[in-house]
């Protein structure tokens, strides 16, 4: 048995749970929190083999509104096309959480670095919204696609979900580390196949500002070299 500190621990836990699921007489239900279309691609492609999947878009961090709508439409278009490809229904639940409420709760992000403690609180907040829905609607399992991204910490995301599982005991947590076994690269290939819009910042207004400043800096460096 792998130590919890092993880099392969959560991927191995995922595989062990999948064995248990596959031994059941019928597929259990899974509520899958998705942050965007590109990150959904690979996790959905493997989870559909084992679960009746419902996707949840619970992301008030994505701003401004135009960007939120763009990412949501990308997600909807992919689910529609992939449902046809797989010949099965993939329901989508959209949570219209209050953007202003989110901004009040995470106002300190302006003083924190990308990937810092405030970002972890943001992940926990969104996963909490989705896990609560899964619990209240009697889904058998819950997980998030965010572990597919190399910019998201799989260990911390799984630890967040473990705590949520204690709060919402009706729904089991499915451990994951979707970035393992080239998961992110496989997802990129699927996203390209379906010509999905791929954003270049995490979601919140502070991350957008940081990205714009980074691009200006790189453009200035390129001009100086020219």
pLDDT tens profile 156-181: 999 999 999 999 999 999 999 999 99
Number of other residues whose CB lies within 10 A of the CB of residue 99: 16
- The whole-angstrom separation of Cα 188 and Cα 39 is 8
- For residue 16, name the pLDDT band (cuts at 50, 70, 90): very high
- Stated as kind and residue range, the H or E segment containing 29 is strand 29-33
The residue behind tokens 């980074």 is 214
Distance of CA 126 to the CA centre of its chain: 9
| Residue 2 clears pLDDT 70, i.e. is over it | no
User: Contact at 8 Å (CB) between 95 and 54?
Assistant: no
User: Contact at 8 Å (CB) between 96 and 111?
Assistant: no
Q: Which residues contact 26 (CB under 8 A, 6 or more apart)?
A: none
Burial call 49-82: b when 16+ CB within 10 Å, e when fewer: ebbbbbbbbbbbbbbeeeebebbbebbeebbeeb
pLDDT of residue 108: 78
Over residues 111-142, the pLDDT tens digits come to 666 777 889 999 999 999 999 999 999 999 99
The two structure tokens encoding residue 126: 């969104």
User: Contact at 8 Å (CB) between 94 and 57?
Assistant: yes
Over residues 46-98, the pLDDT tens digits come to 999 999 999 999 999 999 999 999 999 999 999 999 999 999 999 999 998 88
Burial of 107 (0-12, 13-18, 19+ CB in 10 A): exposed
- Stated as kind and residue range, the H or E segment containing 33 is strand 29-33
CB-side neighbour CA atoms (13 Å) of 87: 0
């Amino acid at each position: 048995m792998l130590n919890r500190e092993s880099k392969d621990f959560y991927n191995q836990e995922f595989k062990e749970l999948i064995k248990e699921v596959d031994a059941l007489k019928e597929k259990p239900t899974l509520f899958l929190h998705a942050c965007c279309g590109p990150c959904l691609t690979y996790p959905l492609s493997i989870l559909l083999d084992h679960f009746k999947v419902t996707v949840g878009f619970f992301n008030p961090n994505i701003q401004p509104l135009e960007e939120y709508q763009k990412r949501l439409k990308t997600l909807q278009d992919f689910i529609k096309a992939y449902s046809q490809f797989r010949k099965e229904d993939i329901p989508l639940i959209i949570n219209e959480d209050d953007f202003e409420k989110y901004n009040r709760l995470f106002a300190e992000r302006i003083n924190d670095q990308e990937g810092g403690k405030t970002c972890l609180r943001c992940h926990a907040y969104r996963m909490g919204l989705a896990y609560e829905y899964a619990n209240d609607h009697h889904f058998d399992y819950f997980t998030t696609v965010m572990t597919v991204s190399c910019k998201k910490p799989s260990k911390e995301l799984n630890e967040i979900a473990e705590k949520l599982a204690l709060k919402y005991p009706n729904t089991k947590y499915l451990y994951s580390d979707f970035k393992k076994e080239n998961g992110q690269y496989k997802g990129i290939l699927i996203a390209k196949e379906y010509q999905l819009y791929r954003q270049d910042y995490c979601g919140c207004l502070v991350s957008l500002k940081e990205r714009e400043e980074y691009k200006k800096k790189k453009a200035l460096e390129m001009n100086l070299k020219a």
